Structure formats: structure tokens, C-alpha cells
Structure 1
Amino acid sequence: MDHSTHRHAEHTGHAGDGHGHHPGHGPASWAMAAKATLHCLTGCAIGEILGMVVGTALAWGNVPTMILAIALAFVFGYSFTLFAVRRAGLGLKAAIKVALAADTVSIAVMELVDNGIIALVPGAMDAQLSEGLFWYALLGGLAVAFVLTTPVNKWMIGRGKGHAVVHAHH
């Protein structure tokens, strides 16, 4: 049995370890969905914060700053999954496909919610790095995005999509 087959066998063999089921076979647990969302949020938050900080520090306008933040959120969000499945033995092309399948919807929902909140909070888009409003809007938006994205991930994992594809290779 090669390394990746062994890891897959280990994963499929632990359905009774508290997960309650194997991903893609019935409803996903809230804990599994929250873990997948937190994983995604970590990458998104790094990219989002970095993009907002760079754009704000360089005195870019709102649109270029938001574009940079969203682009970096996707890059960092995908990279977390990409590195994890590469470590599990997947080739680069297959790992990229898994990362895209696992994270695209989750990152998109998270970015839509987070950036929507930042855009809607009065003064947040014009706030400077030294202002509390900048950080409250950004971190508050990420927190709301986590709450709203977790049910999306739960639904997707329960249907064998999203982070369920990562579990098949971990």
C-alpha cells in the first residue's frame, strides 16, 4: 500500500472517532463544518488583513484595496489546503484541483460577507490602520463571515463537496 493509499485507508477507517460519519455520507456535524470554516477563515483572514493593510498603507483607493484583499484571501485560503494535501502525498496538479474544489465556495461566501460588512460600516473604508474602526470592521466582518459560512460548509460537506474532498486525501 503506497503512502497516499495508507493515509486514505486510515481516514476512512476512523468513521467512529467522533466525526459520526464519513464525509459525503449523510449530514455533516457542526464541529466538522466549524473546523473546515476555521481552516478557511485562517487563510482568508491572513490575505484579507494583509491586503487591507497594504492598500491602506499605500493610500490606495477603496476599490484597488478591496481587490487586493480579496485576491490575497483566495491565494492564502487555497494555499493552506494545497500545502496540506501536498503533504499527504498528492501531486501538484491533483492538489490544486482539490484546493479549488474544497475552498472556492467557502472563500467566496466569506469574502462576500466580510467585504460587504466593511463596505456597509460607515467610515470603515476610509479608516486608517491606526484607527479602531478599521480593525473592528475588518475583524467583525470576519467573525460574521465565519458564522454565516459554517452552515454553507456543513451543507457542502454533507453532500461530499467542499472540505469533504480534502478528507478523501488527508
Structure 2
Amino acid sequence: MEHETHTAHVHHTAAPAATWAMAAQATLHCLTGCAIGEVLGMVVGTALGWGNLPTTLLAIVLAFFFGYSLTLRGVLRAGLGFRAALRVALAADTLSIAVMELVDNGVIVLWPDAMDATLSDVLFWASLAISLAVAFVVTVPVNKWMIGRGKGHAVVHRYHH
């Protein structure tokens, strides 16, 4: 049985004051990973001529993958072992990414003709960009609520020096 050790400095304090700036920063971090995965998934699925469902599923899976990966990178740098870092990333990002993906993909599904747009269509890129912007706006209050309760990105901040 392997025991994980880490050298990270964990600061156990009360839940931080959840400011809008802190929530926006956490959401921007989430948006970065989600956008990388979402855009990559939509581009790959569309370029390969996949249908809407497999393309959307690929985009969602990649959004979670890249979202978690960005958090993992930072927490691993703080000295946490992989398993513990993975638990932190899952706790910090799951709700934020889920809300972002639900809103992002919901906007695209509801946008007339967006699901049928191709890579050369302005509609493809515009609907994707606007859907991510809407998802950001909707997710900021979610992250503010989570940070105020010591959850979400508040968990990640405990490992920053």
C-alpha cells in the first residue's frame, strides 16, 4: 500500500470572503479549460463529420479533461501527490465545469442553426464564443457561492503558497 506524502503548505482557515473578483477569477480559470476542450471537441467532431450528439459529447468530455488538468497542474506544483491532487481538482471544479457545460451547450442547442454550422461558417464560431461568454456570466455566481462556503476554488487556494 502506497502512502502519499506532500510538502504543500495547507492553510486551514475559515471560508474566505467570497468576492465577485475572486469568483470571476475562479470562473475564468474554469472557462479556460472548458473553452479549450469545448472548442477542440466541436472542431474535431465537426471536421470529422460526426453528428451533433457525438460531437457534443466529445466537447463535454474534453472540457472536463482540460478543466481538471489545469487545476491538477497547479496543485501538483504545490507538492501534493497525484491522488490527493485529483481529489482536490474534482472537488474544486466539478460543479463549476458542469454548470458551464450545461449553459454553454444549452445555448448552442437552442441557437437556431448553430448545431448545423460548419467550421467555415461565422455562425459556428460566433455561437461558440457567445455561448462560452453566457456560461461565464451564469457560472460566476455559482463559484461565488461555493467559495463563500469554503468549496470550489477555495479548496485550491489552500494549496497556493
Same fold? TM cut 0.5: yes
| Same amino acid, percent of matched pairs | 70
Q: Matched residues in 2 for 1:129 and 1:117: separation?
A: 18
Measure how far apart 1:3 and its partner are.
4.3
Q: CA RMSD in A?
A: 1.4
For 1:4, what is the secondary structure of its paired residue? coil
Task: Name segments (4+ residues, structure 1) moved above 6 Å.
Answer: none
Question: For the structure 1 residues 23 and 30, does the alpha-carbon distance in structure 2 shift closer, same or farther, using more than 3 Å as the test?
Answer: farther
Check if 1:168 corresponds to 2:158: yes
Measure how far apart 1:70 and its partner are.
0.2
TM-score calculated relative to the size of structure 1: 0.88
Whether the 8 Å CA contact 1:23–1:167 is kept in 2: the answer is no
Measure how far apart 1:4 and its partner are.
1.6
For 1:155, what is the secondary structure of its paired residue? helix
Structural mapping, 1:4-15, within 5 Å: 4-5=8-9, 8=10
Question: For the structure 1 residues 23 and 65, does the alpha-carbon distance in structure 2 shift closer, same or farther, using more than 3 Å as the test?
Answer: farther
Question: For the structure 1 residues 96 and 29, does the alpha-carbon distance in structure 2 shift closer, same or farther, using more than 3 Å as the test?
Answer: same
Whether the 8 Å CA contact 1:34–1:150 is kept in 2: the answer is yes
What is aligned with 2:80? 90
Measure how far apart 1:23 and its partner are.
6.7
Which one-letter code corresponds to 1:60 in the other structure?
W
Q: 5+ unaligned residues in a row in structure 2: which ranges?
A: 1-5
User: Which deviations, in whole Å up to 9, do the C-alpha atoms of 1:16-37 show, x marking residues without a partner?
Assistant: xxxxxx7714x40000000000
Q: How many residues align?
A: 155
TM-score calculated relative to the size of structure 2: 0.92
